[in-house]
């Protein structure tokens, strides 16, 4: 791979073209006779003038610098970087899904509507909820949507509740979504087991509690075993329980948030349901609700008439309104639907069983080499602490950078915040034992290197195209645009 | 081992406090704190004239990896803000007890009493586990 890479704008040479068009076989007109003058360019667009071969080589070279799940193991904790089955891509390209428009008459898109309706029901059944909206574009968007419904619920009952409680292990999007929804966040400390302490929760709830936001299993990969008691505490105080579905990969077909007492959930289809992610999306964060929140669902949802035809149901008078253009990220919903259909209920349960098995295998093999803040069986992910390596001047950041030299994407680092020098590993179910063993061997080797040759680790990465970036300067003095040529 | 100055007082949230003039107390974050945070990229401070309450958030400090709250160690009114940090947040890393100071607060009530509620250098050293 070449080290230096010019921008395509820097490759421009006047007169070069990258396209070849056939002769025009329709009458040519002057564009100014067809388009009002105020919309016409006075200068040509500054598109780069390059040959076709150079365009192809440029973008092929850039694509080779990417690292995705199709390249290698990607154990980012809490992200569920599972393999994306290519059948999902085939299905998403069916003309009946790819070549339609959301504003077409309902009669002409019944297949698409049936897909959405069935997906709504499938996700409701999976999570133990009553009604689903597929509109939100991703996880945090789903969180915000759920919180806005909670707000509408309390307001409809004439109650002013301003606080949302989150555990200190929560994903940063939880308090952020709460803040954007107009709430104040209250953080409660996790106990020594890494779980929510019911007594601390009892202290924290009150008449101003709108909701508690939890993920289960939590970000540490541990199941909140007091969840039924937690649900009671919050409900008795008049608050609602929000389920962050980011860690659903651990429990499909085994446990359901609806049965745990949650009132509203979101799912991350780009995590649990294998839709592509890692490049910024698009994602999909459908929300499921119990009947008490159904009056506030975003509209429209897909409904089914008695005659078996499907339609856009706008009849939700207390709806919080639309949260996304059209019906959400339709192409993503199609891929998630294909995934669910491919696996079926038994297959989804197997996914979670294997995800938990793989995480426990990697954890037990790595445990002798790192500090394990929460020993014992984990769910689909687990955390290690790299703190013992500090004695050799090596930090978790260095371990992550050194993993790049072995061809692995690093795990999540420095999150959750309540574990020192944290490393959060989620292998997912779509990895062979050989892949897991290769990752384990690399991690063990890096620990050995930290002990015998720490500069090899602190100076990593050595083999990648870019080395360590100066993130501090990029944050302090960002360069947001540039001029070429 | 991080630097802990014996003449300062310390809060549990890793701020230091130094009386500079009568009721005016200068405040910053400790060497331990700046090391934990990493390279500081942005500091959001209260405005001069703002009232702050001991133990409550008065601003934020942002590094590449995290945003942390800044807590007022004493109750009072902000009388001075370190403007240099806007262009040079790295001063907090380089001189956490010197040029990287954050604000000066005119303490309400008895200054001695307010500072007395904070940790001594020895207690702070104990708290961060470096004794």
Torsion sign (Cα): B49, B55, B56, B58: positive
- Residue A95 token pair: 């003309």
Subunit contact A475:B64, Cβ cutoff 8 A: yes
CA distances from A187 to A68, A148, A165, A174 (A): 34, 20, 6, 11
User: Residue A472: its chain B contacts at CB < 8 A?
Assistant: 38-41, 63-64, 90
Give the nearest chain B residue to A413 (CA atoms).
B65
3-state secondary structure of A224: coil
Q: How far is CA A256 from the centre of its chain?
A: 20
Distance from CA of B62 to the nearest CA of A (A): 10
Interstrand relation of B9-10 and B15-21 (parallel, antiparallel or unpaired): antiparallel
3-state secondary structure of B17: strand
User: Residue B64: its chain A contacts at CB < 8 A?
Assistant: 471-472, 475
Give the nearest chain A residue to B41 (CA atoms).
A476
Q: In B16-103, where does DSSP find H-type helix?
A: 31-37, 84-87, 91-94
CATH 2.40.160.20, applies to B9-116: no
Subunit contact B41:A475, Cβ cutoff 8 A: yes
pLDDT in tens, chain A (485 residues): 556 788 999 999 999 999 999 999 999 999 999 999 999 999 988 899 999 999 999 999 999 888 999 999 999 999 999 999 999 999 999 999 999 999 999 999 999 999 999 999 999 999 999 999 999 999 999 999 999 999 999 999 999 999 999 999 898 899 999 999 999 999 999 999 999 999 999 999 999 999 999 999 999 999 999 999 999 999 999 999 999 999 999 999 999 999 999 999 999 999 999 999 877 779 999 999 999 999 999 999 999 999 999 999 999 999 999 999 988 999 999 999 999 999 999 999 999 999 999 999 999 999 999 999 999 999 999 999 999 999 999 999 999 999 999 999 999 999 888 899 999 999 999 999 999 999 999 999 999 999 999 999 999 999 998 899 998 999 888 888 877 75
Domain boundaries, chain B: 9-116
Give the nearest chain A residue to B39 (CA atoms).
A472
A471 touches chain B (CB under 8 A): yes
Looking at residue B131, its pLDDT comes to: 58
DSSP letters spanning A133-156: E----SHHHHHHHHHHHHHHHHHH
The mean of the pLDDT values for chain A is 95
Subunit contact B42:A472, Cβ cutoff 8 A: no
| Beta-bridge partners for B69 | B60
CA distances from A64 to A40, A465, B14 (A): 38, 10, 45
Q: What is the pLDDT of residues B97-128, one digit of tens each?
A: 999 999 999 999 999 999 999 999 999 999 99
3-state secondary structure of A289: strand
Looking at residue B102, its pLDDT comes to: 97
Looking at residue A477, its pLDDT comes to: 87
Subunit contact A472:B39, Cβ cutoff 8 A: yes
Distance from CA of A381 to the nearest CA of B (A): 21
The A264-267 sheet, strands edge to edge: A131-133, A287-289, A264-267, A240-245, A209-214, A163-167, A184-188
Q: What is the pLDDT of residues A77-102, one digit of tens each?
A: 999 999 999 999 999 999 999 999 99
Subunit contact A475:B42, Cβ cutoff 8 A: yes
ipTM score for this prediction: 0.76
Helix (H) or strand (E) holding B81: strand B76-81
A417 touches chain B (CB under 8 A): yes
Looking at residue A3, its pLDDT comes to: 62
User: Residue A475: its chain B contacts at CB < 8 A?
Assistant: 41-42, 62, 64
- Residue B87 token pair: 């262009």
Q: Is A295 exposed, middle or buried (0-12, 13-18, 19+ CB in 10 A)?
A: middle
Looking at residue A2, its pLDDT comes to: 55
Q: Is A103 exposed, middle or buried (0-12, 13-18, 19+ CB in 10 A)?
A: exposed
User: Residue B90: its chain A contacts at CB < 8 A?
Assistant: 472, 476
All domains of chain A in start order, with CATH: 8-64 (no CATH), 87-342 (3.40.640.10), 354-471 (3.90.1150.10)
DSSP letters spanning A15-74: T--S---PPP-S----GGGTS-GGGS-SS--------HHHHHHHHHHHHHT---TTTS--
**Tally of CB atoms within 10 A around B129:** 7
| Partner residue opposite A414 with nearest CB, options B40, B41, B65 | B65
The mean of the pLDDT values for chain B is 93
Q: Is A206 exposed, middle or buried (0-12, 13-18, 19+ CB in 10 A)?
A: middle
């Amino acid at each position: 791979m070449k080290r230096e890479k010019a921008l395509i704008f820097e490759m421009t040479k006047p007169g070069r073209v990258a396209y070849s068009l056939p002769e025009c076989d329709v009458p040519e007109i002057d564009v100014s006779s067809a388009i009002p003058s105020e919309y016409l360019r006075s200068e040509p667009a500054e598109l780069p003038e390059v040959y076709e071969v150079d365009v192809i080589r440029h973008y092929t070279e850039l694509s080779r610098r990417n690292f995705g799940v199709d390249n290698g193991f990607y154990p980012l904790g809490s992200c569920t970087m599972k393999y994306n089955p290519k059948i999902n891509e085939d299905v998403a390209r069916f003309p009946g899904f790819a070549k339609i428009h959301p504003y077409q008459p309902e009669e002409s898109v019944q297949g698409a509507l049936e897909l959405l309706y069935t997906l709504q029901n499938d996700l409701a059944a999976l999570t133990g909820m009553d009604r689903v909206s597929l509109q939100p574009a991703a996880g945090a968007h789903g969180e915000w949507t759920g919180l806005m419904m909670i707000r509408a619920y309390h307001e409809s009952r004439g109650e002013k509740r301003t606080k949302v409680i989150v555990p200190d292990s929560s994903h940063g999007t939880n308090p952020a979504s709460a803040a954007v929804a107009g709430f104040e966040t209250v953080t409660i400390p996790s106990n020594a087991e890494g779980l929510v302490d019911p007594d601390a929760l009892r202290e924290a709830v009150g008449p101003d509690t709108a909701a508690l936001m939890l993920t289960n299993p939590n970000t540490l990969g541990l199941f909140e075993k007091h969840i039924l008691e937690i649900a009671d505490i919050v409900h008795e105080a008049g608050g609602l329980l929000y389920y962050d579905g980011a860690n659903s990969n651990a429990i499909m077909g085994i446990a359901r948030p609806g049965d745990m007492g949650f009132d509203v959930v979101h799912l991350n289809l780009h995590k649990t349901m294998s839709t592509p992610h890692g490049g910024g999306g698009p994602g999909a964060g459908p929300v499921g609700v119990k009947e008490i929140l159904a009056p506030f669902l975003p509209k429209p949802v897909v409904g089914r008439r008695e005659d078996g035809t499907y339609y856009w149901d706008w009849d939700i008078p207390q709806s919080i309104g639309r949260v996304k253009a059209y019906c959400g990220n339709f192409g993503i919903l199609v891929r998630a639907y294909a995934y669910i259909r491919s696996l079926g209920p038994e297959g989804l349960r197997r996914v979670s069983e294997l995800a938990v098995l793989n995480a426990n295998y990697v954890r037990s093999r790595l445990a002798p080499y790192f500090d394990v803040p929460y020993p014992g069986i984990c769910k689909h992910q687990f955390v290690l602490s790299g703190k013992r390596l500090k004695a050799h001047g090596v930090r978790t950041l260095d371990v992550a950078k050194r993993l790049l030299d072995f061809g692995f994407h690093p795990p999540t680092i420095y999150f959750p915040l309540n574990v020192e020098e944290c490393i959060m590993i989620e292998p997912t179910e779509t990895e062979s034992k050989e892949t897991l063993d290769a990752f384990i061997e690399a991690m063990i080797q890096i620990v050995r290197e930290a002990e015998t040759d720490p500069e090899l680790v602190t100076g990593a990465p050595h083999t990648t195209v870019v080395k360590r970036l100066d993130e501090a300067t990029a944050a302090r003095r960002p360069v947001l645009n540039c001029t070429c040529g | 081992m991080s630097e802990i100055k014996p003449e300062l007082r310390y809060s549990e949230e890793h701020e230091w406090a130094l009386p500079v003039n009568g009721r005016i107390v200068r405040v910053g974050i400790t060497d331990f704190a700046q090391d934990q945070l990493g390279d500081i990229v942005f500091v959001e401070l209260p405005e001069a004239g703002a009232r702050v309450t001991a133990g409550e958030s008065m601003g934020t400090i942002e590094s590449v990896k995290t945003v942390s709250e800044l807590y007022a160690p004493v109750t009072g009114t902000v009388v001075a803000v370190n403007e240099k940090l806007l262009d040079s947040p790295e001063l907090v890393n380089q001189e956490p007890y010197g040029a990287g100071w954050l604000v000066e607060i005119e303490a309400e009530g008895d200054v001695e009493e307010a500072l007395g509620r904070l940790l001594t250098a020895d207690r702070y050293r104990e708290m961060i586990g470096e004794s």
